[in-house]
Structure 1
Amino acid sequence: MRGDMGFAVFNPERHAAVGNSAGGNSPFFFTGDVESDAKYFIMPEMGFSMPLNETTHVALAVVGNGGMNTTYRENFFSWNNTTPPRDVTIGVDMMQVLVPISAAFKVNEDHAVGASLVFAETRFRAYGLQAFQYFDSPAPNGFGMTITSDPDHLTNKGFDYSYGAGIRLGWLGEFMDDKVTLGLTYASRTWMTKLDKYKGLFAEQGDFDIPENYGIGIAIKPAKNLVIAADVVRINYNDVASVGNPGPGIAIFPGFGAALAIPSVADASKELGNDNGMGFGWENQTVYKLGIQYGVNNRLQLRAGYNYGKSPISNDQLTFNTLAPATVERHYSFGFTYKANDNLEVTGTYMYAASNTQTNCAQSILNCVEIGMHQNVLGLTFGWVLDPGPVALEEYGDSDWAGINFDGWYAGLGVGQSKYGDIDEASANTRTEGWKVYGGYQFNKYLGIEGGYANLNDMTSRTGAVVTNLAADAWTLGAVLSYPVTEKLSVMGKLGAAYVLADAKVKNGAALTVRSGDDSYEPNYGVGVSYALLDNLNLRLEWERFDRKEYDIDLVTAGLALKF
């Protein structure tokens, strides 16, 4: 039996350029060269497995399935710089969470099968696509093109949610005295409810299912502490209409004739939202993976991996994919597992997806387009192992190592709400999500030192025609004072400093947005309570303030701290 809990910091860096910014004027005067502002995301994960008897195990997990997010502050789909204004943010925000409930059965000593019922949730919003509505509107209020079947459910409708389920099946077989392991996996299409708020954007009236995939893998153990593995996985993006249906393609005719490269202009049945409506034009993808794991000693395993999957975006489908430039092809990963004691494993992972750019001209209404992305992922997972089993133990090395003395060290994650103070709340949205990650050292039960990173998100205020947006994050370092009230409950106080990175955007009426930065060292202090759930796991509730000269930022969080 074991349980795992962890998180990853996901850092996608995306950019898009269109029109003359990408090397050729758009016949509809679209232009822009911009990077996405949304660059850091926390992806939590957890799971556990347990045996029911000698042949049957059950498991439950909660994992992120990725998604797509872009926040472009310069709107490259701004028609004539007015519809919408160029400084109106454009982008999409999609998050998917999977909850597989699994059972595995050991058929005999060499073969096992498994099945999962996978529940899924999708959260989505799109914003800044008003130009699509304008092109769809009849003259003289637009171009009268057939772009969307429902212009009222195309953009700026806030978050919508979709729910669904699918199945996964798998087989694992061991051969040649357990030196070779083969595996097969199949995941059905996950059938989701419709995103009704965006039934004028996604094909089939807002349908956005998770595609089917299947794969085969092999693992070879030349030595008991060395595993070399390879997998091939096929993902059928093209079967999901909103993902695989073609969008605007290559323009054959110059000037305004480039609009004929939009499939729905020639065939109204392909309007966004229809059963055969336009999509992102993704092709099916085959992903090849190679990995190696080496047990250094009785406490440490090291891993490295590489995978390659050709971009699912063909070079004639770049127009819509400016909103979600999933262009990366090569991924490199490194990781370790450290066995702190008989019951605790700490696993760390770093993944780098190398930068890949796709560019092409004659892209329907945009002409030249360039999109690109690279990614960094840094993850940390803690595993509580009550019964590791003989195979898991032998994959560590034979040599003894006393290990690293982590006594006194701890790390944690807190999620909650930030609030910007000293601002007229009648005309401002001052409350938003906030979170932090931190680590520290406890000298004794009264005194510790702690440092971390806090994402304070943003706020927006309006005074007449002037709209101000403030966004901030911070790096912190300070002393933590604790006083035990009972054996499990302690009160805490924190005093230190923070390096606050703040960005301000001010828009006055129709004028372009003025951007400025204001990074500075500021006092950081707070109070909280800590309750010991387990010997090495504490629940923490905290309030802290980032004391700026112009305005204060309060962060209230609840989270967990793990003592090593």
Structure 2
Amino acid sequence: MKKISLVLFVLSTFIFQTTYATDGYFRNGYGIKYSALAGSGVAVSLSSLGAVTNPASIINVNNSVELNISLFSPMRDYTISGNPSGFPQTFGLTPGKIESDKNLFFFPSIGLKRSIANNMAIALSIYGNGGMNTDYPAQTFYESSSPNTGVNLEQMFANLTYAVQFTKGHSIGLAGIFGWQRFAAKGLAAFSPFSSDPANLSGNSWSTSTGFGFKVGYQGVLTEWLSFGAAYQSKINMNEFERYAGLFAEKGDFDIPANWTAGIAVSPTRDWTFLLDVKQILYSGIKSVNNPLLPNLQTSQLGKDDGAGFGWKDITAVKFGVMYKAIENYTLMAGYSYSDNPIKESEVLFNILAPAVIQHHITAGVTRKISEDSDLSLAFMYALNNSVKGSNPLEAPGQQSIEIAMRQWQIEIGYSFCLIK
């Protein structure tokens, strides 16, 4: 009963889900063991939350519940160099460095897995994807009605997964995904002349949307020492943010981009496993994210199909992980990932609101088996500081430059236990 109560408590905390950005606005890893491996692991089965990485993986894990709690700290800032020109029809910014407030966030994840036959299993995963969050204590765009500038995108997902082992050592899985998200923005009224719906541009209360998608995966043991895994997630078509129909392209549309992952696991001995994954996130399929600021801001209006967006490009991430199991009751993990930067130098103005420029992640973790049916894990992630610098595209040439920067760290604790044998 105490374990069930703990599950219900964690589920209830999802109403306070918060956001951050790593691989763009996707998490670096889902589930504490995968996080400790820098998000690698599509070819291995580590926990019930592995269904998020690869739906096929749940065939090879015990019936269990996994609860994770993370403390996450993203540090975001922008620096403006050069004075505004004051020329007509320019959009100058106040010089100086501004750091975003609200740098500490808590968020949970939960996974449940149960076998329904010798070769079939189901799982439920509830988790946050990531998002965009800034809260600058400044009137960045000279908007007088709000003393602060920023955005907050929060996303939560529930995956219901079914997997089957169709022959020994080889399994496939399919997950239906329900997505929920909410968004709010402030301090953007200066863009009203560029908006198709100024009343639904900035300063409104939370706007929510929901949608559905799917994920399919394969996992197979090719030799005694080599395994392969791959997964594809569809675009999740979300309802529009009606209260921000004058900001995002396609009248407030903000779908979740499609992505795919493929990787291998190499185990030269029983004690060592080396992982290599490649992941691609297709931001180009989402107009509100992919549309560039210019020339769209001049040729169309915010909120229309060709309205200006954040100018993000598709990114590819390469993830490495290593596991060591020679110490009794302990598994040691470490990882490193490198991803492309979705933000180009020409897109720094709008991305003051979403400086998702992280490229390097270093991770480590440990799992201790505390009983026959349970284990405790701890993981740490540090994302190295990175920045992008470009000119203010709405100022006189060479007049102002904008530099956006971010660094991050995260501590995560997880508990896994057998709920149904």
TM over 0.5: yes
Q: Give SS of 1:364's match.
A: coil
2:405 matched residue in structure 1: 372
Going from structure 1 to structure 2, the CA distance change for 1:303 and 1:100 (only over 3 Å counts) comes to same
Determine whether 1:175 maps to 2:222.
Answer: yes
Match of 2:418 among 385, 388, 395: 385
Match of 1:157 among 204, 227, 233: 204
Could you report, residue by residue, the CA deviation over 1:27-62 in whole angstroms, capped at 9, with x for unpaired residues? 544114200001011111111101001000100011
- Taking the aligned partners of 1:234 and 1:30, their CA distance within structure 2 comes to 35
1:84 matched residue in structure 2: 144
Could you report, residue by residue, the CA deviation over 1:198-243 in whole angstroms, capped at 9, with x for unpaired residues? 0000000000000000121000011122110000011100110000
Q: How does 1:151-550 map to 2 (within 5 A)?
A: 151-177=198-224, 179-248=225-294, 262-265=295-298, 267=299, 270-365=300-395, 367-385=400-418
Determine whether 1:33 maps to 2:97.
Answer: yes
Match of 1:115 among 164, 174, 180: 174
How far 1:25 sits from its partner (Å)? 5.7
- Taking the aligned partners of 1:220 and 1:43, their CA distance within structure 2 comes to 32
Q: Please tell me the residue identity of whatever aligns with 2:141.
A: F
Tell me, which stretches of 5 or more residues in structure 1 are unaligned? 137-146, 249-261, 389-564
Q: Please tell me the residue identity of whatever aligns with 2:150.
A: G
2:64 matched residue in structure 1: 2
Q: Please tell me the residue identity of whatever aligns with 1:14.
A: R
2:120 matched residue in structure 1: 56
Determine whether 1:148 maps to 2:211.
Answer: no
Q: Please tell me the residue identity of whatever aligns with 2:255.
A: D
Q: Please tell me the residue identity of whatever aligns with 1:233.
A: K
How far 1:363 sits from its partner (Å)? 2.4
**Between the two proteins, what is the percent identity of the paired residues?**
32
Contact 1:363 1:369 in 2 (8 A): no
Contact 1:345 1:385 in 2 (8 A): no
Could you report, residue by residue, the CA deviation over 1:304-362 in whole angstroms, capped at 9, with x for unpaired residues? 00000111001111110000100010011101111111111111110111000111124
Q: Give SS of 1:357's match.
A: strand
Q: Give SS of 1:328's match.
A: coil
Q: Give SS of 1:69's match.
A: coil
Q: Please tell me the residue identity of whatever aligns with 1:319.
A: L
Q: Give SS of 1:243's match.
A: helix
Contact 2:348 2:392 in 1 (8 A): no
- Taking the aligned partners of 2:240 and 2:111, their CA distance within structure 1 comes to 28
- Taking the aligned partners of 1:56 and 1:15, their CA distance within structure 2 comes to 48
How far 1:386 sits from its partner (Å)? 5.8
Q: Please tell me the residue identity of whatever aligns with 1:88.
A: P
Q: Give SS of 2:204's match.
A: coil
- Taking the aligned partners of 1:121 and 1:373, their CA distance within structure 2 comes to 26
Higher relative contact order (CA 8 A, sep 6+): 2
- Taking the aligned partners of 1:175 and 1:310, their CA distance within structure 2 comes to 30
1:16 matched residue in structure 2: 78
Structure with max Cα Rg:
1
Q: What TM-score, normalized to structure 2?
A: 0.81
Greater share of helix residues, 1 or 2?
2
Tell me, which stretches of 5 or more residues in structure 2 are unaligned? 1-62
How far 1:387 sits from its partner (Å)? 8.1
How far 1:110 sits from its partner (Å)? 2.0
Aligned residues: 352
Q: Please tell me the residue identity of whatever aligns with 1:239.
A: G
Q: Give SS of 2:93's match.
A: coil
- Taking the aligned partners of 1:278 and 1:29, their CA distance within structure 2 comes to 18
- Taking the aligned partners of 1:15 and 1:28, their CA distance within structure 2 comes to 20
Q: Give SS of 1:152's match.
A: helix
Contact 1:18 1:76 in 2 (8 A): no
Contact 1:126 1:156 in 2 (8 A): yes
Could you report, residue by residue, the CA deviation over 1:283-306 in whole angstroms, capped at 9, with x for unpaired residues? 000000000011132310010000
1:70 matched residue in structure 2: 134
